[in-house]
A and B are shown apart, each in its own frame.
Chain A
Amino acid sequence: MAFPSNLVRMLLIAIAAFVPSPVTAGDAAQSFQTDVLPILQRRCAECHGDDVQEAGIHLAKSHTAEELAAAPHTWFRALDQVAAGNMPPDGEPPLSTAEQATIVGWIEGDLTDSLVARQRRDGRSKFRRLSRAEYLNTFEDLFGYRPNPDPLPADGRVDGYTKVSDALSLSSEGAYGYSQVARELVDRWVLRPTPKLDNTITRAEAMESGQSKGHSLVLDDGWIVSFNTDDTSGRLKYGGVRTPGVHKLRMHVYAYQSDEPLLFGVYAGKTLSYPQEIELLDVLEAPAGKPTVVETELYLKERAGIRLIPFGIGVQVPKNSQASECRGPGLAVQWMEVEEPARPIRADQWLTADLPEDLRAAMRNPRVRLGDKGSYRYGSLTEDEFVDLMGTTLTRVGARVLRRDLTAAEMTELLSEVRQGLQQDQPLQQVFLERVTDLLASPEFFCVIESPGELSEFELAARLSYFLWNSTPDEQLLQVARAGKLRDPAVLRAQTDRLLDDPRSDRFVEDFLDQWLDLHAIDDTTPDSQLYPEYDDVLKFSSLQETRATFRRMLRENRSVGEFIAPRQLLVNARLAEHYGVEGVSGAELRPVNVPPGSPFGGLWTQPAILKVTADGSSTSPVKRGVWVSERLLGVPISPPPPNIEPINPDTRGATTLREQLALHSAHRSCSGCHKQFDPFGFALENFDVMGQYREHYRLLDAEVAALPAHRRQGAPLWLSGLAVDGSGVTPEGESFADIVELREHLVRHPEKLAWGVAWHLATYATGAVTDDIDRRAVQAIVDASAEDGYRLRSTLHALVQSELFRWK
């Protein structure tokens, strides 16, 4: 498929390195005509010539330079088919080694050269606005709070990614949304009269449930116990968040009637509306029996109320029943302390940092103007002095907002507007804040703008920080760029390490995995509660943490990408240990344990979060999972099925498996050619159900039991064991396997494929342009570079950052 002879490729790279003059599309058309076309006419014209064009592909004809440049994908498909020996098809004599080498050599050589040359000239990534996540993070890092995202333009997805130009359209209301966010900043948070906050720590006592008397248990000393995972639990006497920002929470809690620690969720939102609109912000652990102060730091929105709710224990005390009769575990809460962020908030402090204290105080009054005649006047500065102060402020602030130093012309324009405002006797606050909204209205704030060619220092700084922090560069990174040093490979490497080691890199891990591995879809389906009663929110939450922690650990410790599919260790907490069949793990904290011998589990692809997003709630599809492994893990895109193919409808009545239905479908020659490239991965994953639990038989709804009223089922499961799962298959390379364990042994011998997969996807995420055929050579170079220390994750990322793919537009 995508990995033909390395030798040819290495040679070509070596040649390319010594031949600086670009190969043009005209050159490629010329060599096509003389070297390749004769072979195609001889060997391919019968199916892909003037008379017949199977699959709509017409190879054996002259191609102009424009035609070649316009449809490169066709040639890379041909390359894959020829290199894999699929074409000419069975029954025809194969191409000779020389013929094959000529075709492959031309596609990987002249054609790629000409396409890459064009890309260098025009740029690979395209002008785009920031994604929502990028915008919100940027805004928070500059101003200290996250604006309401609703007015902001909505993101689409291209190949799963929200960072790509084509996914980032701008609607008219989206543009208006930017103006609303800017207005909200200056109207509400900057140069407002400073509120008197007598103490910044608030203690909120626990309260009884509002549901009905006795719905929560009241103990001595104000301890209240809740037994339900629902919003009747965990009430607090708390007036709501006053200042948006990161808050420190301290909660005095313990697990009641329990020998085990109990998980509880911190939920925030509209706790006073009915029904409440609250979202889960964090999951913490209350130790068994012993009152303990549990701490966390969380970003809280203005006016948010808080609830502390036992996590994943169901509803043990239904409506109109008494908590005193409950014998199950409960969450005991006595109080919660909330430490608020400082006020005025960062936006105010940061924007006004250059102003003398008395001027800042004067400007908090929206009527104060310059001069000393009349009331509401500030007379300590002349017009020139005020303009100078604004110059200092706007130079400093402008560079952070626009992610580059402002030009002299831009400064002149801003300051002439300041002067004009003063001459019109506008209030000082207005004169200043309008310049701030001007900056925020600049596309250079909310868009990514790069010029063709090698990125400038500032452009590179922005690309690096949006890659690894999903946000704007900090002062230090801008300083390096300003000094003109970021393009120095060693400095770039050091900055990459610095950004990765900063806690802000968690945003990269979460955002990248959401897009690369489809984790954004984690809530799209819910496993059928009758067929899969084992599934619960604790498993879902733990598995998301597991997948992120796995990647984070590999990145931090620079572990081999082979661990994506075959690690020696799993990261588990009590719930995941139960899922994986590992003994002796308690608590919510993830910790490494060795993979039990003979276990089918190990790696991203057998983690519950992944197996959930690749299934619907009731059935699994080997096609969907197979495509996922191919595209996401191995970085080998699968073309969508031809138009108007009838979808296969899963038949869950139990007479056939989807695999058997699929076999009929794939028997058709035109289907099987593609399906055999990815279905086999899905076959091996059939041994995992919709939540990733290992199975040897499919489950089938037991209609008789399901028809009984709940109290007469006597705990009988609602499902029957159905047909046996067949997890065997043959890899695209022709190696047969009996199950996932054997498939894993095959794949782990090729870490370069996993390095290719992650490099392919990191490149899309990092550059905001979907990686495609033209980039194969660049991706291969990254893989080759990471081969030097055994295909390690962090090394692969470094190789990407150092590559032209990253350093050029």
Chain B
Amino acid sequence: MQYSINRRHFLRTSGAVLALPWLESLAGAAEPTPPRRMVSVCTAFGLYGPSLFPSTAGRDYSPSEYLKILAELRGDYTIFSGISHPDIGGDHASEACFLTAAKQPRRPGFRNTVSMDFLAARHVAGATRIPLLSLSTDDAGGLTHSQSGAPIRADWSPSKLYARMFLAGKATEVEAELQRLKNGQSILDRMQDRFDALTPRLSHRDQQQLADYTEAVREMEKQLHAGEQWVHRPKPTVDEPPPQDNPDKSDFIGRSKLMFQLIRLALQTDSTRVCSLFIRGMDLTPPIEGVKENHHGLSHHGRNPAKLAELKLVEQAEMQAFREFLVDLRQTSEGAGSLLDHTQVLIGSNLGDASGHGTTNLPIILAGGGWKHGQHIAGDTKNNTPLCNLFVSMMQRFGMEIDAFGSSSGTMNGLG
């Protein structure tokens, strides 16, 4: 038999180091420090501004119609106004830019850029079974974009995700999983060689794309290799029964609630530390008492009072779902505090005034993560604060050494 040192072999022996989950590695230590986590949530059709934004800034703001729903969490979140990604435009296409801040997604030559959650996940790579939980309420993609701006597929089936995180497979299934990982590595290994062989053949204009593709293959080889290590580790067990997928496409709020429960479980068991959830907008009528028109149609309310009334019913239900999620995190104790204390939760939308596809004055809430909350940080509604300033602050708190991201001009003023 011939032996040659191929890339896979190298990966295996060069020892891509895997950290243990913090619970395991710190078991026995007196006061284990819980890890930092980050959750980003985007709801596609905005939240009606006049019902969301408080009329005054600072700590003494009086809660708006929607914020009354979060009343019991007042000290656990900050509401922002006058904040957005500069020069985004692009109508609904701005969804893809919520966590990336890439400009003008509809312009010819547009290329997306890396998303905040991808960078955060890379920062803690290897620490958990699942490097990044990118989720969506349906099967058409999420918020995450790789280093080269490629969209990362989002999980949307709670039952499959639960099985992946918590259900131990039979021995044959584990074996099949291992075989699957090995097969994948062998084909990707070949792919990598072929990409490398292309380098001298392609023109200099083609080299960037080639490098991006090659990087994607290399990244996957690493992931498969790491996956092999995790296959043998026992999965955490949880008391919660497996969820049933919600078959009703129009019930995006019901679907997002299932995802919120899973996110809490995933964080609590340290199965992952970075999650993002895209709550996709639907041209369907959600099953909410009193709502007759489809959600997309309602978001284009054209200031019609009847439509606004229905839109508010939908958005109030969304706010309720956010409240339940945050309360759930706060009720889960961890270390000396709660899971919420160690989890930064960003909730917002890519659209401001959705009726005219506005991408300025976005609704943005940041909860948890140990920040001093309880205020309304009001930016200039004509000249918005870059949302990326908040992203930089969040990433710094996540432990990353970073001082610029996307269109940032610094960190978020007023956030302590």
Is B153 engaged at the interface, CB distance under 8 Å to the other chain? yes
B220, A176: Cβ atoms closer than 8 Å: yes
Does chain A have a CB within 8 A of B412?
A: no
Mostly helix, strand, loop or mixed at chain A's interface?
Answer: loop
A154 CB contact (under 8 Å) in B92, B151, B220: B151
Interface residues on B, range: 35 or more
* A166–B360 alpha-carbon span in the complex (Å): 26
Residue pair A169, B87 in contact (C-beta under 8 Å) = no
Q: A169-B212, A420-B2, A647-B353 are in contact. Are A444 and B194 (CB under 8 A)?
A: yes
List, in ascending order, chain B residues with CB within 8 A of A506's CB.
Answer: none
Residue pair A443, B184 in contact (C-beta under 8 Å): no
- Alpha-carbon gap, A449 to B216, bound state (A): 18
Per-position binary interface string of chain B over residues 298-324, scored 1 when its CB falls under 8 Å from any chain A CB and 0 otherwise: 001111111100000000000000000
Known: A169-B212, A275-B248, A420-B2. A183 touches B187 (CB 8 A): yes
Pair count A-B, CB < 8 A: 202
A170 touches B89 (CB 8 A): no
A274 touching B139 by the CB < 8 A rule?
no
B363 to chain A, nearest CB (A): 16
Which of B91-116 touch A at CB < 8 Å? 92-93, 96, 104, 106-112
Q: Which one of B152, B204, B300 lies within 8 Å of A171 (CB-CB)?
A: B152
Select the residue from B202, B203, B296, B305 with max chain A CB neighbours within 10 A.
Answer: B203
Are A153 and B110 in contact (CB-based, < 8 A)?
A: no
Interface assignment of A781: CB less than 8 Å from any CB of chain B: no
Q: Does A325 contact B (CB under 8 A)?
A: no
Q: How long is the Cα–Cα vector from A302 to B353 in the complex, in angstroms?
A: 44
Query: Judging by beta carbons under 8 Å apart, are A123 and B205 in contact?
Result: yes
Q: A172-B217, A275-B247, A643-B87 are in contact. Are A122 and B184 (CB under 8 A)?
A: no
Contact A650 B283, CB 8 Å, known A424-B1, A528-B293: no
Interface string of A413-446 (1 = CB under 8 A from B): 0000000100010000000000001101111100
Q: A129-B213, A174-B216 are in contact. Are A182 and B187 (CB under 8 A)?
A: yes
Shortest distance between the CB of A129 and any CB in chain B (Å): 7
The 8 A CB mask of B19-51 against A (1 = contact, 0 = none) is 000000000000000000000000000000000
Q: Which residues 398-418 in A have Cβ within 8 Å of B in the complex?
A: none
Bound complex: CA of A452 vs CA of B153, how far in Å? 33
CB-defined contacts of A641 to chain B, threshold 8 Å: 89
- Tell yes or no: A158 within 8 A of B by CB: yes
- Contact for B216 among A172, A179, A772, CB less than 8 A: A172
B299 and chain A: residue at smallest CB distance: A616
Q: Which of chain A's residues have a CB closer than 8 A to the CB of B347?
A: none
Q: How many chain A residues touch B (Cβ–Cβ < 8 Å)?
A: 75
The answer to the question of A697 belonging to the interface, with a C-beta cut-off of 8 Å to chain B, is: no
The CB with the most chain A CB atoms within 10 A, among B86, B87, B96, B216, is that of B216
Cβ of B358 within 8 Å of any chain A Cβ, yes or no, is: yes
List B contacts of A523 (CB < 8 A). Answer: 283
Q: Smallest CB–CB gap between A625 and chain B, Å? A: 14
> What residues of B have a CB within 8 angstroms of the CB of A640 in the complex?
89, 104, 106-107
Interface hits, B207-255 → A, CB 8 Å:
209-210, 212-213, 216-217, 219-220, 223-224, 247-248
Asked if B12 is an interface residue, CB under 8 A from chain A, the answer is: no
Inter-chain CA distance A619–B307, complex, in Å, is: 13
Q: How far is the CA of A170 from the CA of B293 in the complex (A)?
A: 38
Query: Which chain B residue shows the least CB distance to A177?
Result: B153
* Beta-carbon contact of A649 and B224 below 8 Å: no
Q: Is the CB of A183 within 8 A of B183?
A: yes
Q: Does B268 contact A (CB under 8 A)?
A: no
Q: Which of B146, B149, B194 contacts A441 (CB 8 A)?
A: B194
> A176 to B300, Cβ gap below 8 A?
no
Closest chain A CB from B208 CB (angstroms): 9
Given contacts A437-B187, A438-B190, contact A170 B201 (CB under 8 A): no
Contact indicator B247/A176 (Cβ below 8 Å): no
Question: In this assembly, does B75 line the interface, its C-beta being within 8 Å of a C-beta of chain A?
Answer: no
Contacts of B300 in A (CB 8 A): 616-619, 650
Query: B64 on the interface (CB 8 Å rule)?
Result: no
Given A165-B209, A420-B2, A640-B106, A653-B302 contact (CB < 8 Å): yes
The answer, yes or no, to whether A215 is at the interface (CB within 8 Å) is no
Q: Within the assembled complex, what's the spacing in Å between the Cα atoms of A525 and B92?
A: 12
In the bound complex, CA of A706 to CA of B203 (Å): 64
| Cβ proximity bits B139-155 to A, threshold 8 Å, 1 near / 0 not | 10100001011111100
Q: Which residues of A contact B357 (CB under 8 A)?
A: 647
Chain B nearest CB from A537 CB (Å) reads 13
Which B residues touch A96, using CB under 8 A? none
Inter-chain CA distance A528–B295, complex, in Å, is 11
Determine whether A5 belongs to the interface, using a CB cutoff of 8 Å to chain B.
Answer: no
Instruction: Say yes or no: is A376 at the interface (Cβ < 8 Å to chain B).
Output: no
**How far, in angstroms, from A529 to B296 measured CA to CA in the complex?**
13
For A767-778 the 0/1 string (1 means CB < 8 A from B) is 000101000000
**Hey, which chain A residues are within 8 Å of B203, CB to CB?**
122-123, 451-452, 809
| Residue in chain B with minimal CB distance to A152 | B153
State how many angstroms separate the Cβ of A151 from the closest Cβ of chain B. Answer: 8
With A128-B209, A443-B194, A525-B283 already in contact, the answer to whether A651 and B303 are too (CB < 8 A) is: yes
Which A residues touch B187, using CB under 8 A? 178-179, 182-183, 437, 440-441
Flag whether B198 is at the interface (Cβ < 8 A).
yes
**Cβ of A312 under 8 Å from chain B:** no
Task: Tell whether, in the assembled complex, residue B360 and residue A646 are in contact, meaning their CB atoms are under 8 Å apart.
Answer: yes
B335 within 8 A of A: no
Query: Complex Cα distance A529/B248, Å?
Result: 21
Complex: chain A residue closest to B110, CB-CB: A158
> In the complex, what residue of chain A is closest to B304 when comparing beta carbons?
A652
- Which of A128, A171, A643, A647 is in CB contact (< 8 Å) with B146? A171
- B294 close to chain A: CB less than 8 A: yes
Assembled-state Cα–Cα distance A652/B301 (Å): 8
In the complex, are the beta carbons of B302 and A649 less than 8 A apart? yes
The residue on B at minimum CB distance from A703 is B306
Q: Report which of A169, A180, A619 forms a contact with B150, defined as CB distance below 8 A.
A: A169
CB neighbours of B289 from chain A (8 A):
none
Q: Inside 8 A of B2's CB, which chain A residues have their CB?
A: 420
Whether, in the assembled complex, A714 has its beta carbon less than 8 Å from a beta carbon of chain B, the answer is no
> For window 618-641 of chain A, which residues contact chain B by CB distance below 8 Å?
618-619, 637, 640-641
Contact indicator A706/B306 (Cβ below 8 Å)? yes
Instruction: Give the complex CA separation of A274 and B294 in angstroms.
Output: 22
Q: Mark B57-69, 1 if CB is under 8 A from A, else 0.
A: 0000000000000
The distance from the CB of B3 to the nearest CB of chain A, in whole angstroms, is 12
- Using A176-B188, A618-B300 as known contacts, say yes or no to A644 and B86 having CB atoms under 8 A apart: yes
Complex interface: chain A residues within 8 A of B1 (CB):
424
Q: In angstroms, how far is the closest chain A Cβ from the Cβ of B91?
A: 9
Give Cα A651–Cα B307 distance, bound, in whole angstroms.
Answer: 12
Are A122 and B204 interface neighbours, CB within 8 A?
Answer: yes
Instruction: Given A174-B150, A640-B107, check contact A526 B294 (CB 8 Å).
Output: yes
Q: A150 at interface (Cβ–Cβ under 8 A)?
A: yes
**In the complex where A166-B109, A644-B86 touch, is A650 in contact with B216 (Cβ < 8 A)?**
no
Interface check A173, CB cutoff 8 A:
yes
Complex: how many Å from CA A440 to CA B306?
Answer: 56
Contact yes or no, B86 A443, CB < 8 A = no
B399 within 8 A of A: no
Sample of 15 more A-B contacts, CB < 8 Å, known A175-B188, A441-B188: A123-B203, A126-B205, A127-B209, A150-B153, A171-B151, A172-B146, A180-B184, A183-B183, A443-B213, A451-B201, A524-B296, A528-B293, A640-B107, A650-B300, A650-B302
Q: Which B residues contact A (CB, under 8 angstroms)? A: 1-2, 86-87, 89, 92-93, 96, 104, 106-112, 139, 141, 146, 148-153, 180, 183-184, 187-188, 190-191, 194-195, 198, 201-206, 209-210, 212-213, 216-217, 219-220, 223-224, 247-248, 283, 293-294, 296-297, 300-307, 353, 355-358, 360, 383-384
12 chain-A/chain-B pairs, Cβ below 8 angstroms? A127-B206, A129-B213, A169-B150, A175-B217, A176-B184, A275-B248, A443-B198, A451-B201, A616-B297, A617-B296, A644-B383, A703-B306
CB-based closest 7 A-B pairs: A652-B302, A169-B150, A647-B356, A127-B206, A179-B187, A172-B220, A171-B150
